[in-house]
C-alpha cells in the first residue's frame, strides 16, 4: 500500500493543472468530434446542458467508457471526484459513498436512472453496462426533482437509441483464466421513419479471483445474462412514445471475506465451509410518452420493476458449523412521474411534477444455527448468565440444528409534488425549487423458533420451548425539500454558482436483527419456565420490533462552484467547494458482544466539507482527463451508549479520490488504420474502517492501460488493470467479535474484439 503524504498530493494537483489530466466534465464537443453522435438524450426533468446548471457533475462518453474498460456502475468510482463504490461482496451490496456520506445496507445516498427510469431497489444498481451512449453523475442533493434517496446525487445512464442509430454491434471480452463476455445488438427502424426498434443481448462467465481454502475452489464465480429491447414510435415531430424493457439473470458465488488475526497482525486466507452466493432475476419495463407544444412539453414516465433474488451466506465465514442465512425476496414496484415544463422561454423556465410509487416486498430470511453455533452463540451466553445464580448447574440443548424462521411483508408507497423555476436576468440565473414528499412504510413480521432444552438443576429430560414473535410496525415520513441556487455567467461557457439545498434518505426497518431478538426471547422464556426471571438477558438489548426501525437521514448542503471553458472549449474546468450538515446519519452497526445480526441506526450529527476539481483537455487526437476530490467528514454528535465518537472520521468514506487518464490516436494508412494508446492512474484513501478510527486503509494507487488496433469497423484492444499489483483492502466488518477484510482484485489482463457497424441516421 502506498501512503499519502502532503507533498505527493500537492505535486499531483500541480500536474493536473499543468497537463490537464483530469476527468471529465460534460463535453458536447468531445461527443460530436470523437463519436460523431447526431443527438444527445437528456433527462426529461432537465432544461439546460449539464455544464450550464448549478451542479457539480461528471459526464462520460462512449469513447471514455471503452478506453477505461468500464463495465459496471462501480467502475465510475474514483473517476468521479468524491464518488466511491467499493468492489466487494456481491451485486446485492452496491454500497455508495459520496462526499463523506453513504451506507452499507438499505437506502442508498444516490439515485440511479436508466433511460429516465428510476431504479427503486439498490439491489438492482450493480449490473453490467452494455451499449451505453453516455453516463452522467450529478453530485450534491437532487431531491427537489428526483426525490427519495438522492441526498448526495444521481447517476443518469443513457443507452444507445434506435431513434438515432442503426446497424449491428458485437463484442467479445476475454480475461484469460478469469472472465469471458459477449455482447450483440441490432438497431433499425421501419422505412416509414416512424417506428424504430433495437435488441441487445449480453452474457458473461467469470471464474473468479479469490480461492476459498476450505473448498480449494474460487469463491467469487458468476454467470450473467441480460437482454434489452426498445421500441420507439414517433409519428410526427410533436409526439414520442418510447418503451424499454430489460430482463436479467445473475448467479454469483461469494464472498471473499478473510479473517484478520490481530495478535499476529496478518490476514488469514478466505476459509469457510457453508455455501455462499447470490442469484437475481430482474424485469424492468419503462414507458415514456412525450408531447411537445410550441411553448410547453408534457411527459409521462411509467415503470414496472420486478426483483426476485436469493442470498445465501455462511454468516460466520469460518470453517466451523456456526450459522447461515438464506434471504429470499420478491419485490414488485410501480412508479409514475408526470412532468410539465416550459420550452424555448428566454427569461422564465419552469416545470411542475407529480410523482408516485408503490412497492411490495415479500421476504423470507431464516437463520440456521448449526451445532457449533448452538454451543458458542446460545449455550455460552445462557450458561454465563445462569451460572451467576447457580454456579454448578448448566443448560443444554439437544437439537443439532436450530432454525430461526423469519418472514416479512414490506409494503411501501409514496407520492410527491414538486416545482422548479429558473429566472434569467441578464447574466444572472436564479433557480428555486420545492418538493413535498410523503412516504408510508410498513413491516408485517412473523418470526419463530423451537428447541429442546435441559436445566440440570430441576429437569430430568429435555423440554420443548416454542418462541413466536408476530406483529406489525408502521412508519410515515413527510419531507419538505427546498433548493435555491444563483449563477452568474462570466462569459459564454464560463459561470460561477452557489446553492443551498436540503436532502434526505428514507427511513425503514431492520430485518437482519430479528434472529438476535428471537434468541433473546427464547433465553428469557426458557429461564422463566423454571422460575428464573432475568428479562433482558440474551444476545441483544433490542428486544422489540419497534426498536428496530430507523428514521430518515437529513442534510443541509451548501456549495460554491464554477464551470470554465477555455481555448475554444479544448480545456474544460470544473471546481466546487461544499459543506454538509447531516443529522440522523444512518450507519450500519453490530450489537455488542457475539451477536449474529446487524442493523441500521441513526448516529447523531455529522459534518462533511471538501472540494473537487475536474478538467478535460482535448486537442486533435489527444484527450487528457482526470479528477481530484477531497472530503473531511467527522461526527459532531455520536455516542452509542458506551463510547463517544465525537470528532472521529466517518467510516467507509474515503478522504481523497484521484484519477488521471488519457489517450492518443495514431492515424495510419495501412491495414491498421488507427492505433489508440490509453492509460489511467487512480488512487483512493484514507478510509477508516470503524467509528473508533483504530483501523484504516491508507491511500493507494493503481495503474491501468490499453492498446487498440482498428481496421475499418473492427477493433482489437489489449488492456490491463491494477498493473502495479497494488495490495489493498476494499471492505471491513466485524462478526462475533472477529475482524474480516476483503482484498481488492490483483493485477489482471484481457483483450477485446469488437465490431461496430452502427451508423448515424
Ordered by start, the domain boundaries in the chain are 6-760
Q: Are 280 and 328 in contact (CB under 8 A)?
A: no
Q: Are 68 and 80 in contact (CB under 8 A)?
A: no
How many whole angstroms separate alpha carbon 674 and alpha carbon 669? 8
Confidence (pLDDT) at 545: 64
Q: Predicted confidence band at 334 (pLDDT cuts at 50, 70, 90)? A: very high
Q: In 3D, which of 705, 585, 685 has the Cα closest to residue 629?
A: 685
Confidence (pLDDT) at 97: 95
CB contact set of 593 (below 8 Å; sequence gap of 6+): 381, 539, 737
pLDDT at 328 over 90: yes
Q: Are 35 and 61 in contact (CB under 8 A)?
A: yes
pLDDT at 285 over 60: yes
Region 406-430 average pLDDT? 96
CATH superfamily of 6-760: TonB-dependent receptor, beta-barrel domain (2.40.170.20)
pLDDT at 527 over 80: no
Question: CA distances (Å), 748 to each of 112, 233, 500, 702, 722, in order?
Answer: 29, 44, 44, 12, 7
How many whole angstroms separate alpha carbon 561 and alpha carbon 632? 18
Hey, what's the cell of 456? 440440570
Q: Are 169 and 757 in contact (CB under 8 A)?
A: yes
Region 733-755 average pLDDT? 91
Confidence (pLDDT) at 5: 44
Q: In 3D, which of 138, 113, 144 has the Cα closest to residue 335?
A: 113
Q: Coil, strand or helix: which one is 341?
A: strand
pLDDT at 438 over 50: yes
Confidence (pLDDT) at 542: 55
Confidence (pLDDT) at 477: 92
Confidence (pLDDT) at 160: 94
Confidence (pLDDT) at 521: 82
Which of 133-142, 419-428, 636-645, 699-708 is predicted least confidently?
A: 636-645
Q: pLDDT above 90 covers what percent of the chain? A: 67
Confidence (pLDDT) at 40: 63
Confidence (pLDDT) at 71: 85
Q: What is the largest CA-CA distance in the chain?
A: 94
Q: Predicted confidence band at 687 (pLDDT cuts at 50, 70, 90)? A: very high
Region 302-309 average pLDDT? 98
Determine the distance from the C-alpha atom of residue 464 to the mean position of all C-alpha atoms in its chain, rounded to a whole number. 45
Q: Predicted confidence band at 533 (pLDDT cuts at 50, 70, 90)? A: low
Region 440-445 average pLDDT? 95
Confidence (pLDDT) at 481: 96
Confidence (pLDDT) at 590: 62
Question: CA distances (Å), 92 to each of 102, 281, 723, in order?
Answer: 16, 12, 28
Which of 202-206, 379-383, 559-563, 589-593 is predicted least confidently?
A: 589-593
DSSP H/E element including 67: helix 62-67
H-assigned helices in 436-513 = none
SS (H, E, C) 431-443: EEEEEEEEEEEEE
Region 461-489 average pLDDT? 93
Determine the distance from the C-alpha atom of residue 623 to the mean position of all C-alpha atoms in its chain, rounded to a whole number. 28
Q: In 3D, which of 693, 594, 592 has the Cα closest to residue 641?
A: 592
Confidence (pLDDT) at 308: 97
Q: Predicted confidence band at 26 (pLDDT cuts at 50, 70, 90)? A: very low
Confidence (pLDDT) at 199: 97
Which of 96-105, 299-308, 382-391, 414-423 is predicted least confidently?
A: 382-391
pLDDT at 666 over 90: yes
Q: pLDDT above 70 covers what percent of the chain? A: 91
Confidence (pLDDT) at 561: 97
pLDDT in tens, 144-170: 999 989 999 999 999 999 999 999 999
Confidence (pLDDT) at 30: 35
Q: Predicted confidence band at 648 (pLDDT cuts at 50, 70, 90)? A: very high
Confidence (pLDDT) at 12: 38
Region 266-289 average pLDDT? 95
Amino acid at each position: 500500500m502506498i501512503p499519502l503524504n502532503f507533498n505527493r498530493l500537492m505535486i499531483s494537483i500541480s500536474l493536473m493543472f499543468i497537463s490537464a489530466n483530469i476527468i471529465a466534465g460534460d463535453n458536447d464537443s468531445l461527443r460530436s468530434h470523437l463519436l460523431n453522435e447526431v443527438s444527445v438524450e437528456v433527462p426529461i426533468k432537465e432544461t439546460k446542458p449539464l455544464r450550464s446548471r448549478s451542479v457539480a457533475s461528471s459526464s462520460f462518453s462512449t469513447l471514455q467508457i471503452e478506453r477505461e474498460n468500464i463495465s459496471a456502475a462501480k467502475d465510475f468510482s474514483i473517476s468521479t471526484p468524491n464518488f466511491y463504490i467499493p468492489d466487494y461482496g456481491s451485486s446485492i451490496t452496491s454500497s455508495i459513498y459520496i462526499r463523506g456520506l453513504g451506507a452499507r445496507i438499505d437506502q442508498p445516498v444516490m439515485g440511479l436512472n436508466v433511460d429516465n427510469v428510476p431504479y427503486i431497489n439498490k439491489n438492482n444498481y450493480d449490473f453490467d453496462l452494455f451499449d451505453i451512449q453516455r453516463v452522467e453523475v450529478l453530485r450534491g442533493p437532487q431531491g427537489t426533482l428526483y426525490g427519495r434517496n438522492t441526498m448526495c446525487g444521481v447517476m443518469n445512464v443513457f443507452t444507445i437509441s434506435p431513434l438515432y442509430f442503426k446497424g449491428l454491434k458485437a463484442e467479445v471480452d476475454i480475461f484469460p483464466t478469469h472472465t469471458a463476455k459477449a455482447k450483440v445488438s441490432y438497431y433499425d427502424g421501419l422505412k416509414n421513419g416512424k417506428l424504430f426498434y433495437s435488441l441487445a443481448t449480453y452474457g458473461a462467465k467469470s471464474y473468479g479471483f479469490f480461492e476459498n481454502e476450505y473448498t480449494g475452489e474460487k469463491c467469487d464465480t458468476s454467470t450473467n445474462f441480460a437482454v434489452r429491447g426498445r421500441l420507439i414510435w414517433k409519428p410526427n415531430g410533436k409526439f414520442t412514445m418510447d418503451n424499454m424493457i430489460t430482463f436479467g439473470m445473475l448467479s454469483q458465488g461469494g464472498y471473499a471475506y478473510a479473517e484478520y488475526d490481530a495478535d499476529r497482525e496478518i490476514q488469514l486466507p478466505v476459509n469457510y465451509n457453508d455455501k455462499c452466493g447470490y442469484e437475481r432475476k430482474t424485469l424492468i419495463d419503462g414507458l415514456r410518452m412525450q408531447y411537445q407544444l410550441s411553448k410547453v412539453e408534457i411527459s409521462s414516465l411509467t415503470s414496472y420493476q420486478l426483483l426476485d433474488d436469493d442470498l445465501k451466506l455462511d454468516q460466520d465465514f469460518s470453517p466451523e458449523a456456526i450459522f447461515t442465512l438464506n434471504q429470499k425476496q420478491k419485490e414488485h414496484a410501480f412508479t409514475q412521474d408526470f412532468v410539465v415544463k416550459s420550452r424555448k422561454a428566454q427569461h422564465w423556465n419552469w416545470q411542475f411534477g407529480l410523482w408516485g410509487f408503490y412497492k411490495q416486498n415479500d421476504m423470507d430470511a431464516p437463520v440456521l444455527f448449526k451445532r457449533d453455533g448452538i454451543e458458542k452463540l446460545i449455550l455460552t451466553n445462557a450458561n454465563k448468565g445462569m451460572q451467576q445464580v447457580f454456579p454448578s448447574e448448566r443448560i443444554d440443548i439437544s437439537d443439532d440444528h436450530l432454525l430461526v424462521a423469519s418472514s416479512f411483508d414490506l409494503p411501501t408507497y409514496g407520492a410527491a409534488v414538486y416545482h422548479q423555476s429558473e429566472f434569467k436576468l441578464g447574466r444572472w440565473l436564479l433557480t428555486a425549487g420545492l418538493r413535498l414528499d410523503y412516504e408510508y412504510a410498513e413491516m408485517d413480521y412473523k418470526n419463530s423458533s423451537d428447541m429442546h432444552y435441559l436445566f440440570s438443576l430441576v429437569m430430568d429430560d429435555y423440554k420443548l420451548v416454542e418462541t413466536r414473535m408476530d406483529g406489525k410496525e408502521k412508519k410515515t415520513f413527510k419531507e419538505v425539500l427546498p433548493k435555491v441556487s444563483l449563477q452568474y455567467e462570466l462569459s459564454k461557457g464560463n459561470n460561477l454558482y452557489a446553492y443551498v439545498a436540503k436532502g434526505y434518505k428514507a427511513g425503514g426497518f431492520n430485518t437482519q436483527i430479528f434472529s438476535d431478538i428471537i434468541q433473546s426471547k427464547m433465553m428469557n422464556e426458557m429461564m422463566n419456565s423454571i422460575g428464573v426471571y432475568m428479562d433482558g438477558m440474551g444476545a441483544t438489548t433490542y428486544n422489540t420490533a419497534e426498536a428496530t426501525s430507523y428514521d430518515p437521514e437529513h442534510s443541509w448542503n451548501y456549495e460554491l462552484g464554477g464551470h470554465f471553458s477555455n481555448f475554444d472549449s479544448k480545456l474544460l474546468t470544473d471546481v466546487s467547494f461544499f459543506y454538509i450538515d447531516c443529522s440522523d446519519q444512518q450507519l450500519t452497526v453490530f450489537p455488542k458482544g457475539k451477536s449474529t445480526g446487524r442493523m441500521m441506526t441513526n448516529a447523531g450529527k455529522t459534518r462533511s466539507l471538501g472540494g473537487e476539481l475536474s478538467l478535460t483537455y482535448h486537442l486533435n487526437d489527444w484527450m487528457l482527463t482526470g479528477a481530484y476530490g477531497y472530503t473531511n467528514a467527522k461526527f459532531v454528535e455520536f455516542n452509542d451508549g458506551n463510547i463517544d465518537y465525537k470528532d472521529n472520521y466517518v467510516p467507509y468514506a474515503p478522504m481523497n479520490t484521484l484519477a488521471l487518464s488519457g489517450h492518443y490516436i495514431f492515424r495510419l494508412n495501412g491495414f491498421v488504420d488507427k492505433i489508440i494508446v490509453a492509460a489511467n492512474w487512480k488512487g483512493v484513501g484514507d478510509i477508516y474502517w470503524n467509528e473508533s478510527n483504530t483501523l484504516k486503509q491508507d491511500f493507494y494507487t493503481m495503474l491501468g492501460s490499453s492498446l487498440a488496433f482498428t481496421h475499418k469497423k473492427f477493433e482489437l484492444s489489449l488492456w490491463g488493470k491494477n498493473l502495479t499489483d497494488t495490495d489493498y483492502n476494499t471492505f471491513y466488518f466485524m462478526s462475533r467479535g472477529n475482524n474480516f477484510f476483503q482484498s481488492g482484485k490483483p493485477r489482471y489482463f484481457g483483450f477485446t474484439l469488437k465490431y461496430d457497424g452502427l451508423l448515424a441516421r
